[in-house]
Amino acid sequence: MIRGALLRTLCLLLVIVMACPLLTGQALSEPKADKGKPTGGYNLYFGDLHTHTNYSDGSGVPEEAYAMAIKAGADFMAITDHTQIWNAYEAWVADEEEWELLKAAAESYTSKKFVAMAGYEAWLLANCGELNVYNVPDLPPFQTLGYRYDRLANFYDWLAEQPGGVAQFNHPLYVSEDFMDYDFITPDRDAGVTVIEVHNEDYYEPSYIKALDAGWHIMPAANSDTHYPDWIQNHSMRTVLLAESLTPDDLYDAIRERRGYGTLDKNLEIRYTLNDAVMGSILTDTGVTEYTASIQINDPDGAGDEITKVEIISDGGAVVASVDTSGSSVDLTINLESEDARYFYVRVTTMSPLDGKVPGVTAWTSPVWTGR
């Protein structure tokens, strides 16, 4: 069942027609089959895709982490301790024995009500960045350093060879130069890296936009990256996956298909389609120039968590639609017109206190791509 009752008490009739700015260049990925299943066919599952334990440089053990996440009401959580690829910090990384223990713990704590994910954070030093890897049964091979510009490309290619494996761009500016400006993209590499952290202690929306403009098909995530024994419980940010059911296969499918959003409000519900295609879809009719966005947002907390603004963002970070709203539930229909846009995603501003800070931008959805 989808969490909470979707209260469509505020119905705003909006017709906004705007042309998206012309952007040159084409995405390197080939258009894929339209995955535009009606959003009502998917449930919303709330969790965290980036956490640590003392298997690397965190605290506690996986069993404690999964148990706390379950107690906090999460639907899923991934433990992603550091693993050694190109660095010499052996005391900070999980080894083969710990990796096997983590996988066993994940299997033990997965149930009909919770999916425990076992992943790892691949260290790519010298300003190349770090990526989380999911749904891969083995640790990656240790690599010699080699030429700096080869490291990301080599890692992407290794990932592409792992059946079902997917990865996430972690905290883009923390130890990298935006992953070499999101260079080295090919269709196979694009299919492997499907998530980017839009929030991890800081806001990374400009990096999200840069990656989209470079041609990557990715969904935004908001994760804690906690290194303390406070998994889920003491954090309000969530990555939300749209899946048919709460099973590992369905959640990994949602990650592969980019069906999801990142939110700093732990229970904010967002449903977004463009021309009836759910967020994460790639439209197949590239001749279309008119689009209808359907957006439903609900905060079950009600008063105090009012939704104050809904925006649609396109190429280059252009705001192509902006609607001031009120109340804890909104239902919008927005018409768009563009001959050039390659993607449209939704950005939500609320009155929610964000990690104890001021209200503001709270959530970002995966785009719907036009196929151009």
Whether residue 190 is found in the same domain as residue 99: yes
What is the reported pLDDT for 39?
A: 56
Whether residue 240 is found in the same domain as residue 92: yes
* Digit-coded pLDDT (tens) for 325-372: 999 999 999 999 999 999 999 999 998 877 667 679 999 999 999 999
Given 227, 258, 289, the domain boundary residue is: 258
Whether residue 110 is found in the same domain as residue 16: no
What is the reported pLDDT for 152?
A: 83
Whether residue 104 is found in the same domain as residue 156: yes
Q: Give the span between the Cα atoms of 81 and 353, in whole angstroms.
A: 29
CATH number, position 370: 2.60.40
115-124 and 129-134 beta bridge pairing = antiparallel
Given 230, 258, 286, the domain boundary residue is: 258
Whether residue 303 is found in the same domain as residue 231: no
Given 232, 258, 284, the domain boundary residue is: 258
Whether residue 331 is found in the same domain as residue 236: no
What is the reported pLDDT for 83?
A: 82
Per the CB < 8 A criterion, the answer to whether 182 and 212 are in contact is no
Domain count, the chain: 2
Nearest CA-CA partner of 81 in 159, 154, 134, 129 = 134
Whether residue 101 is found in the same domain as residue 213: yes
* Digit-coded pLDDT (tens) for 99-152: 999 999 999 999 999 999 999 998 665 567 889 999 999 888 766 545 566 778
Whether residue 170 is found in the same domain as residue 69: yes
Residues of the chain with confidence (pLDDT) below 50: 1-38, 91, 145
- Could you list the residue range(s) of the whole structural domain that residue 121 is in? 43-258
Whether residue 14 is found in the same domain as residue 73: no
What is the reported pLDDT for 359?
A: 77
Whether residue 248 is found in the same domain as residue 284: no
What is the reported pLDDT for 17?
A: 31
Claim: this prediction has a pTM higher than 0.85: yes
Residue 46 parent element (H or E): strand 43-48
